[in-house]
Amino acid sequence: MTSTLPHRQIGPLTVSAIGLGCMNLSHAYGDVPDETDAIRLLNRALDLGVTFLDTAALYGMGANERLVAKAVGHRRAEFTLASKCVLDVYDGKRGIDGSPAAIANTLDNALQRLGTDHIDLYYMHRLDRRVPVEDSVGALARAREAGKIGAIGLSEMSADTIRRAHAVHPIAAVQSEYSPWVRNPEVAVLDACAELGIGFVAFSPVARGFLADAVHEARFVAHDIRNFMPRFTAENLAANLPLLDRFKTVAAGAGCTPAQLALGWVLARRPFIVPIPGTRSIAHLEENVGAATLTLSDDIIAAVDAIFPPGAVAGTRYNDMMQAQIDTELLPEESIA
């Protein structure tokens, strides 16, 4: 029997106030879980009332889309399905291609992997600077006219790019990293979303495990993307752990877990924000979903903000190579070579 969670509106879509990022079931954080366990987790998410699942062509080189289809394809009517294009595997290697032909090809392959003829929300995963965003969005608009997708989204893009895209076709959602320790969307994107009626989807809302009290040493398995993120180097992580201690104290005072505090903080920022934490643990999934009904006082919100003023976190969000692939605005304290 499916439970009911509070819902939020992102563009024309109504989804659970907390969704599920499916990436780490196939990609990015070291060894992938057993397929049986991943299938069990995805079904438990739906049972708990999660109605928003987020995947992408890149995740596991298509394996994540196939996993979602195998796990919950039989429950397709119960959730809003989101996936992504542009960032994909080309000739066996990760690459960015925002050309209309590449977008059409990635979409057709995704539909086949997902075992469906329709994806509810389809994002440009990244901006291809070689291709005008207007051309890329035009391709997605044609896909929508053909009935292959229901709404168009953008991921890790600036307010200026969002406005250009929205002028071609209404954008339903913008997805970017957002948490108490990643505040880039506050520069301009959240205001642009509010102005244009666009939903905002927050990925990594518990700071890639850091704000869930799950990262205490800079020791990650091979292929874990945190190996390449400056905030998780030994020196910077050691400098950031005192921030976590303060954060945990605030969570205890609020009567919730650190992960729930991070999610509650994100939910409190704007009414059109939907966080999509990922997890491989059913216990953590249930913990995360519990934040959907959490109400934080203004004092608690202020206490979190006091821990993470500008410049408080040691290390940039991405290294120079990764930063060069995104269009999101930088904070004043950030820079790239």
Active-site residues, by number, are 59
Residues 184, 2 contacting (CB under 8 angstroms): no
Q: Any bridge partners for residue 174, and if so which? A: 154, 200
| CA 25/CA 67 separation, integer angstroms | 9
Residues 273, 178 contacting (CB under 8 angstroms): yes
Element containing residue 14 per DSSP (H, E): strand 13-16
Burial 60-93 (b: 16+ CB within 10 A, else e): bebbbbbbbbbbbeeeeeebbbbbbbbbbeeeee
**Burial (CB count <10 Å: 0-12, 13-18, 19+), residue 44:** middle
| CA 41/CA 38 separation, integer angstroms | 5
